[in-house]
Amino acid sequence: MKSLYKIIAVVALALVAVNCQEDDSTFGDVVAPTNLTASVDIANDQSGNVTLTPSADNVLTYHIFFEQGIDPVVITSGEQANYRYTQSGVYSQEIVVTAYGKGGVSSSISVVIDLDVRLEIDAAILANLAGNPNEGKRWIWDSTNAGHFGVGDPAETFPNFFSAGAGQLDPCLYDDVLTFSHDGQGNYTFELTTTEATFINWAEVKRFFPDATPVQFADECRFIDDQLDIITDFVVVPDNATGANILTVTNSTMSYWSGATSYEITELTENKLTIRGIQEPFDPPAAPLAWYHTFVPEGGTVPVDCGGSTGDAGSGNNDVLVWADEFEEDGTPCSDNWTFDIGTGDNGWGNGEFQYYTDRPENAEVTNGVLKITAKAESFQGSNYTSARLISFQKFDFTYGRVEARAKLPTGGGTWPAIWLLGSDFETNTWPGCGEIDIMEHVGNQQDIIFSSLHYPGNSGGNAATESINVPGVSDEFHIYAVEWTADEIQFSVDGNVYHTFSNNANLPFESDFFLILNVAMGGNFGGPIDPNFVESSMEIDYIRVYQ
């Protein structure tokens, strides 16, 4: 494995006992610790890690001050305290060990270590994270994209408990700026800039405000700049066991305070930073949690030219391209065009479907010029299948036009991919009153049969206006699925072959704005029985274009 850092440390230890103990160490219920000692071990793997093991009689807790001016590491009898020094240079470092006994009486000693440290972070990691020397790089929350913040079981690799929608959380989180910088000489600086408050996990509030009465699961905005190091150092080193890159910001936090100050970097590019930190809830104590955060460079929350609008006005003949997603930028689908529906909806999205829709890259990502929506057989949030559903609601909607989508479809009994339109007033004009235009539907239990449908009052669900066509190889090859929608007529075609024509009029709901939906469902009223041997399959979309 490639070495991501180099640390040279020459350490000399000198124990200097500072006797704060009274001759009379016991009176009433107040008992001072005695016989306080401490041993310090420096890891021999050149990581810069220090392990301190204290020992004393009549001790309740130890407070280990590894550096002046930062919060102590608090441990109990029999535990060890770990710390990593990341400052480059030759210097002596005093460690103060304070032992507390009954009644708050304490004893202290100090341990002096002489360090000669030279630290180097891998050049590619440093360039992506901190930019050029003496310039710095400012990161902000990727708040325009769903999934920028989440929490899950540490045994999992995704936020299976909660994943935030775009802009869903308190504004006090989103105004933070995280700046990483370096001087090119092995000194690395992290600065956290907040606007009056930090978003704090509810189980961490009492760490800073012992008299507070936080409400369960209600995270709070609180000023804690005076209790953190808002300007400190950082380091990125590989975990000895897993090889994962670990980002540590000394006595600080990556905006949201969960209690973690070290984070696994799960993704780092020039335009994206995703981290995972483990929380040990402070008060009340509880099982550990894994927190996921995604940041983007300030001023670069979406890829350049990500949005679908072409800026051109339609001619009225459905021959001018007004909007398109060509899926050219690898990664998360463009947030200017799409948001994710999450969960199981009402009664399986109204159809008795079995999948849980997520915003994970495992279920929806752009790669090699295509959008892949993947249905998977897996246990997730109480469901046995996962998939994704992308919508352009409140991003792009339109009245009349020609929609073309070039796609290759999934296989497997129970799969139900769809490319369709829904009336934008669905929240107030409930389905089927809002209208639905299904450009393409396919079910794995009827392989190679393509369906198109219109749902409206009096003709919906199993009574929709539906036609079908046999198209061999829909799961082996890309085909162009299209609808031509005017005030008088709606026509559906595959590869230019019209197979379904519907007469439109002002008494139907197809005279107002609709938005796009792309999804792969599993089972349900139309999808039918799911093959018990199904593992996963994807709908791949090369592009989707709208002409007016």
- Distance (Å, rounded) from C-alpha 480 to C-alpha 519? 17
- Distance (Å, rounded) from C-alpha 274 to C-alpha 360? 13
- CB 480, CB 405: distance < 8 Å: yes
- Distance (Å, rounded) from C-alpha 159 to C-alpha 169? 16
- Distance (Å, rounded) from C-alpha 255 to C-alpha 228? 11
The one catalytic residue among 204, 353, 404, 436: 436
The one catalytic residue among 191, 220, 404, 441: 441
β-strand pairing of 449-455 with 436-441: antiparallel
Identify whether 298 is a catalytic site residue.
Answer: no
| Tokens encoding 438 | 């299904």
**DSSP classification of residue 196:** S
Identify whether 441 is a catalytic site residue.
Answer: yes
| Tokens encoding 105 | 């009486």
| Host H or E run for residue 62 | strand 61-65
Q: Cα dist. 467→226, 449, 498 in Å?
A: 67, 10, 11
- CB 406, CB 424: distance < 8 Å: no
Reduced to 3 states, what is the DSSP secondary structure of residue 191?
Answer: strand
Q: Residue 290 class from Cβ within 10 Å (0-12 exposed, 13-18 middle, 19+ buried)?
A: buried
Q: CB 434: neighbour CB atoms within 10 A? A: 20
Where b means 16+ CB within 10 Å and e means fewer, 339-350 reads: bbbbeeeeebbe
Positions marked active-site: 436, 441
